[in-house]
Chains A and B, each alone.
Chain A
Amino acid sequence: MRVTVVGCGAVGSLFAANLAQLDDVEVWAFDLDREHVAAINSNGLRLSGAGEVVGEVRATTDAAELPPSDFGIVATKCMHTAAAIEATAPSFADGAVCSVQNGVGNEEAIAERVERVIRGTTFPAGRVVEPGHVQWDVKGDTTIGPFEPSPAPAVEVERLADACTRAGMPTQAVADARGPQWRKLIFNAATNPIGALTGLTHGRVCEDPALRRLVSKLVDEGKAVATAQGIELDADPEELIDHAARPDVAYDHKASMLQDVEARRPTEIDYLNGGIARFGREQRVPTPLNDAVTALIKGLEASWTL
């Protein structure tokens, strides 16, 4: 089978390089970074850290070069989903496309262009250290399931999960993948903007009792919106938050949104807290604090363009 990874940053590279280890999978990558694409084509896509892997991946910056694929794995930042899928959709005319992105709203954007869509949530993480080379920081599980309004059939979801698992990216196919997605969403939405607005690491956010209460209030709003949609979380985000605050886990971790803010890169706020707020409005569940942090982060982004 042929898989095209759309957006070959850190997470996309983890899927691409690992899947390329399988004899029965041909991997393509679509990315706009010319140097990264050139390096992948000349030296392969290299992972180091949690696993040492070099994958033979065909990479391109030109979507017209992509052959028809059985599967797409979209791993761009959320704000690029619509443009990326618009460019690559022709190669998925007879394929299914899976999002492994942060936040909510990506599957909806993919479904505008592609018929069979898979909802996915992934926990492995890394960072691009140089063109063609990604540091694999954290191993983790991935959960995928049909995207209800434009679902890929279960057998197709299972086929992708099987390939990822065999490639060393443990992936579970489930009937309803919203639970893990909203668990991760709520975790990220309750912690990322607080780190970004205060400059504090995850551990320091959690050890300030007043700030930790604010985190919990954000969690509670997210849970209420999930419940209103009939989503059952697969674990309590609060436990994840406290677990991550341990010195041996992620006490010193700067949330990705804080890293974005420090580098003055656009954040994924619209798909995190903004996503919770949007689904909340649809469900008529008030989300005043998620609205507030969304407005603050968007204000922060606006301040860079003055």
Chain B
Amino acid sequence: MTDGIWVIGGGVIGSLFAAHLSRVAEVTLLCRRAEHAAAVSENGIRVSGRADFVGRPRASTDPTGLADAGFAIVATKANDVETAAAQLEGRLGDGSVMTVQNGLGAEEVVRDHGSWPQLSAVTFMSGTKLADDHVEYVLDTPTWLAPYEDAPLELAERTASLIVESGLKAEAMPDLEPARWSKLIFNATVNSVAALTGLPHDHHFAELEQPTDLGHLVRGLMDEGKQIAAAAGIALREDPWEMNVLATQRGSRHYPSMLEDVEARRPTEVDFITGALVREAERRSVEAPLMTAVYRLVKAREASYL
């Protein structure tokens, strides 16, 4: 893993990985916009909030002229994984790839481009992009990673160690599905409700006093998610409702990415998050009327501006 790391995607998660890992490895951030790459090349990436330093990854929009990497983290939005994976084709030697998208399905997309060992990851860390070269690290919750298909657990463990060494939290585990589904249900609910109401993830999401309080809808959505997970044979690692209550008690008022996307009138990841659960529900004949409703509403909200 000393062969250099590519981090593809310069959003919050990609920036946090690139900045931190640049302290323990040769890192190149691959991003879409030339001015983004220029800002990072010139100024590095400043991390504030939970940490305070300037990471010095290289940055580029095009991997063509770069030396091959030994490890790649695909940290793009779910919608952009296909493009990212295509950039990796033939460029990793015997290296490996980690996907860290919201929702389900990124691993399959990457697999279509190479037979490299893959790691599946979900991350609970969060932050806010303040500029192309400045990210605020808000929640220092861990990244969980596990082997995909027949990759060795040892690869996940080595990778987790490297991430921890760089200053982020990470944990390797043999099977990601219990953790991934916990986050998927949490995300599908919190992101959709935030996108529709304009509320950051705050105390409203756990309120249960009045019959029309938002907490009832949040819990109802999560209950449907749990039923879908059960039908898929997944034993959740954490209870999404408890995750919700805990997160809202922190008082940090996190702005979920789907809310930011809707406010900026960008395409959201709803098809990969809420949509992934709705499709699983249909495939397994589980009734999910609330999840279906918020999925359709977010899709329609997108349609109003796209």
Per-position binary interface string of chain B over residues 268-299, scored 1 when its CB falls under 8 Å from any chain A CB and 0 otherwise? 00000000000000000000011011101101
Assess whether B211 is in contact with A197, with CB atoms less than 8 Å apart: no
Q: Whole-angstrom distance from the CB of B262 to the nearest CB of chain A?
A: 10
**In the complex, which residues of chain B have a beta carbon less than 8 angstroms from the beta carbon of A198?**
297, 300-301, 303-304
**In the complex, which residues of chain B have a beta carbon less than 8 angstroms from the beta carbon of A304?**
198
Assess whether A295 is in contact with B199, with CB atoms less than 8 Å apart: no
Residue of B nearest to A217 (CB): B289
Assess whether A211 is in contact with B296, with CB atoms less than 8 Å apart: yes
Stretch at the interface among B52-60, B77-85, B97-105, B213-221: B213-221
Q: In the complex, A205→B196 CA distance in Å?
A: 15
Assess whether A214 is in contact with B217, with CB atoms less than 8 Å apart: no
**In the complex, which residues of chain A have a beta carbon less than 8 angstroms from the beta carbon of B10?**
none
**In the complex, which residues of chain B have a beta carbon less than 8 angstroms from the beta carbon of A243?**
none
Assess whether B301 is in contact with A281, with CB atoms less than 8 Å apart: no
Per-position binary interface string of chain A over residues 276-306, scored 1 when its CB falls under 8 Å from any chain B CB and 0 otherwise? 0100010000001101111110111011101
A151 touches B (CB below 8 Å):
no
Q: In the complex, A293→B196 CA distance in Å?
A: 10
B5 touches A (CB below 8 Å):
no
Assess whether B204 is in contact with A197, with CB atoms less than 8 Å apart: no
Assess whether A299 is in contact with B197, with CB atoms less than 8 Å apart: yes
**In the complex, which residues of chain B have a beta carbon less than 8 angstroms from the beta carbon of A281?**
211
Assess whether B290 is in contact with A292, with CB atoms less than 8 Å apart: yes
Q: Whole-angstrom distance from the CB of B89 to the nearest CB of chain A?
A: 36
If A288-B289, A289-B290, A291-B217 touch, whether A214 touches B197 (CB-CB below 8 Å) is no
**In the complex, which residues of chain A have a beta carbon less than 8 angstroms from the beta carbon of B304?**
198-200, 204
If A296-B193, A296-B197, A296-B217 touch, whether A291 touches B300 (CB-CB below 8 Å) is no
Q: Whole-angstrom distance from the CB of B105 to the nearest CB of chain A?
A: 20
Q: Whole-angstrom distance from the CB of B44 to the nearest CB of chain A?
A: 33
Q: How large is the interface on B (under 10, 10 to 19, 20 to 34, 35 or more residues)?
A: 20 to 34
Assess whether A302 is in contact with B197, with CB atoms less than 8 Å apart: yes
Would you give 20 A-B contacts (Cβ < 8 Å), ordered by A? Answer: A194-B300, A197-B196, A199-B301, A205-B300, A211-B296, A214-B292, A214-B293, A217-B289, A277-B211, A277-B212, A288-B289, A289-B293, A291-B216, A292-B294, A295-B217, A296-B217, A299-B197, A299-B214, A300-B197, A303-B199
Q: Whole-angstrom distance from the CB of B255 to the nearest CB of chain A?
A: 11
**In the complex, which residues of chain A have a beta carbon less than 8 angstroms from the beta carbon of B301?**
197-199
Q: In chain B, residues 224-253, which have Cβ atoms closer than 8 Å to a Cβ of chain A?
A: none
Q: In the complex, A291→B202 CA distance in Å?
A: 20
Assess whether A306 is in contact with B197, with CB atoms less than 8 Å apart: no
Assess whether A306 is in contact with B199, with CB atoms less than 8 Å apart: yes
A180 touches B (CB below 8 Å):
no
If A194-B297, A214-B293 touch, whether A299 touches B193 (CB-CB below 8 Å) is yes
Q: In the complex, A49→B214 CA distance in Å?
A: 42
Residue of B nearest to A269 (CB): B212
Residue of B nearest to A289 (CB): B293
Assess whether A299 is in contact with B211, with CB atoms less than 8 Å apart: no
Assess whether A274 is in contact with B296, with CB atoms less than 8 Å apart: no
The contact of A288 among B290, B297, B305, by CB within 8 Å, is: B290
Q: In chain A, residues 103-151, which have Cβ atoms closer than 8 Å to a Cβ of chain B?
A: none
A208 touches B (CB below 8 Å):
yes
Assess whether B296 is in contact with A214, with CB atoms less than 8 Å apart: yes
B147 touches A (CB below 8 Å):
no
If A299-B197, A302-B204 touch, whether A291 touches B293 (CB-CB below 8 Å) is no
**In the complex, which residues of chain B have a beta carbon less than 8 angstroms from the beta carbon of A291?**
211-212, 216-217
A210 touches B (CB below 8 Å):
yes
**In the complex, which residues of chain B have a beta carbon less than 8 angstroms from the beta carbon of A197?**
196, 297, 300-301
